[in-house]
Chains A and B, each alone.
Chain A
Amino acid sequence: MTTLSIDGFIGLSIALLAISIFGILTRRNFILLLISVEIGMNAAILNFLFFAAFPNRSPFFDGLQGQSIAIVLVGLAATEVAVGLAIVLALNRLKGTINVAEASSLRE
């Protein structure tokens, strides 16, 4: 039987979330921003799987729900990448850059 420690799992997903937030706040290239978002979504997926794998004593606990949510989230995150890339391509056609800081005329 597989035994694993809980602390390591939760530490991993929190570290990935922190990296994702850092990336979204600092990176100015749109592709890197998309990658940061994906890292964050993967952290959430990992969390759902992890909480499904270590059963909770709550009477409402449903491990299959956690796994189902993880599957749906994979699809959702991939959809977001597709939409993001569509916006990138359209922006690149208009302005010739995918840098968020360079493409910025919405100021006072």
Chain B
Amino acid sequence: MSLIATVLDFLPEILLLAGALLVFLIDAVGIRRIEVVGSIAVGAILFAMLFVFADLGFAPVAFLATIPPSQIDIVPAVGSTPLYWFTSLGLFFQVFFLIAAFLVSLASMSRPSRERGAAVFYGMILLATLGMMLVAVASDLIFLLIAIEVVSIPSYLLVAYTRRDARSMEAAMKFFIVGALSTVLSFFGASFLYGAYGTTNLFVLASGSAVSNGAFGGGGFPLLVVIGYCLLIAGLAFKITLVPFHAWAVDVYDGAPDDVSAFLAGGTKKIGLFAFFLVFLGPVLLVRGTVEFQWFGGIGAVALGPVLQVVLSILAVVTMTVGNVLALMQKSMKRMLAYSSISQAGYMFIGIAIGTAPALTGASLQVFAHVFMKTGAFLVVAAAAGLGVGPLIADWRGMGQRHPWLSVAFALMLLSLAGVPLTIGFLSKFVLFSAAIEAQGYFVWLAVAGLLNSALSVFYYGRVLKVMYFDAPERGSVIPSSTEADVPLPGAPNGRAAVSPIGLGAGGIGYARATTIALIAIVIVALGVYPGPLLQPLAAAAQHFVNLAF
């Protein structure tokens, strides 16, 4: 393949890289206004999104396609071990990641224009988005893991970028430690898989050949493979906040600046899900037979696929239940949203445990919905913090009267998170749970667990709605926001200084942020009512993905 063809294949990624470099360069020559820097970032993201849409073949822009259609959704020839490949589901995920980056970049342009660190903030967002897009095209385990590192390292630095806020810095420290542990576990697991298969290509791994075909002595490596997968599950589970590995997420989302929390919960978390798609769907789908192996002289038997399915199902149910129960007990708004984000990861995980095309469609839709709902919810919290609303749920009393438009948008997002009909959250859960019922067997119980959990989640979302609309605001309960957040008050939100103190735009929120929130609210309802344009191509893409034997 010629160099030009390769460059054209990666045109959206190269655009993002160019945007990041441009942002750093103009910072070096002294242009630091957030409007300029943010416009460059938003422009780069929009152009990248245009080209990804073209590659997906959407009608008005299809002539811009840079990846030849003959390269999309093609199984590589037997014996070749490519490092990357293009699937339509992967391209859809690239769109989702770009949407999350776009929303956060646009909303962040409302921060004060003289604020330091705008270049680093946008540069890191662009680099992390670039890494997420590379995750979506990986077909090699090491490519995938290094691409995840391309996301992780900018996201540690994003959490710390304010530099003056001790809470953010602590959150960055925790994030770094957990991320480093996850990296160690993933690479160690990958090394075991490399030892068993002799390569890290995901197609070869998906074939499961090393479980039965002996390599060194003739006995095969079932244990090496199983333990390698265990370590990989542990390493990747940190990224997607599955339950035994979730504790960091709450502290990090709570401590990070609000815009960054929106990006972490709405964007970077999803790479873990796609990594699970790539790594585990093959074994789950393919290795159905039982394989005998020698274990300390005795004969054991393992069926890798069904065992993995059971493990992943248990993880999914535990994740959604623990996330929901803990969310019920939170008093702080950001921590409640963080736990709700953990439980949403559990819903998405149902799709991987089942592994059929409709289930994948449901999980992808859930990701899409979550990008809007969670990014939007954190952005509303950021906006409210700028308006002087405290960090606790109780501080939101009477928001319905004080800031009616913001409250309506937030209520829509919460209803969608709870899965109320006519919102996109309902649609994704409906597709996911009906896929679980369709799959028969014990998967039906996954649907039951999901429904019970949705009912449970209505309690805490409903509590916020009640506080916002039916509890009268106490006189004097509105604490004036301390814009000089250099010395953080105990429990103060660190997004306090994030908004221009002059009452710009929609009541001090800022035009860009208000536009973003309105956009999110419109999309949540519009696609909830009329999902056809999204649902059909996505279902086709998921079907292709499953047919590729991944």
Contact = CB atoms under 8 A, between A and B. Distances in A.
Interface of A: 6, 13, 17, 20-21, 24, 30, 33, 37, 40-41, 43-44, 47-48, 50-51, 54-62, 65-66, 69, 72-73, 76, 79-80, 83-84, 86-88, 90-91, 94-95, 100, 103-106, 108
Contacts of A76: 146, 149, 183
B71 interface: no
Given A58-B199, A58-B215, A65-B200, 4 more contacts: A37-B183, A58-B198, A72-B146, A88-B173
A106 B194 CA distance: 39
B195 A103 contact: no
A3 B198 CA distance: 20
Contact of A56 (B172, B183, B215, B254): B215
B160 A106 contact: no
Contact of B176 (A13, A57, A84): A84
A87 B169 contact: yes
A55 B217 CA distance: 11
A44 B204 CA distance: 21
6 contacts: A41-B187, A44-B184, A54-B216, A58-B197, A62-B81, A90-B160
B504 interface: no
A87 B185 CA distance: 22
**Contact-residue bracket for chain B:** 35 or more
Contacts of A91: 166, 169-170, 173
A56 B181 contact: no
> Which interface residue of B81, B172, B194 has the most chain A CB atoms within 10 A?
B194
A85 to B, nearest CB: 10
A6 B216 CA distance: 11
A60 B197 contact: yes
Interface string B314-336: 00000000000000000110010
Given A44-B188, A56-B216, A57-B214, A103 B170 contact: yes
B288 interface: no
A77 B185 CA distance: 13
Given A60-B198, A66-B194, A69-B142, A44 B187 contact: yes
Contact of A65 (B163, B199, B490): B199
Contacts of A37: 180-181, 183-184
* Closest 5 A/B residue pairs (Cβ): A61-B198, A40-B184, A47-B191, A58-B198, A51-B195
Contacts of B255: 106
Contact of B177 (A21, A24, A50): A24
Contacts of A94: 164, 166, 169
B157 interface: yes
A73 B187 contact: yes
B316 to A, nearest CB: 25
B174 A106 contact: yes
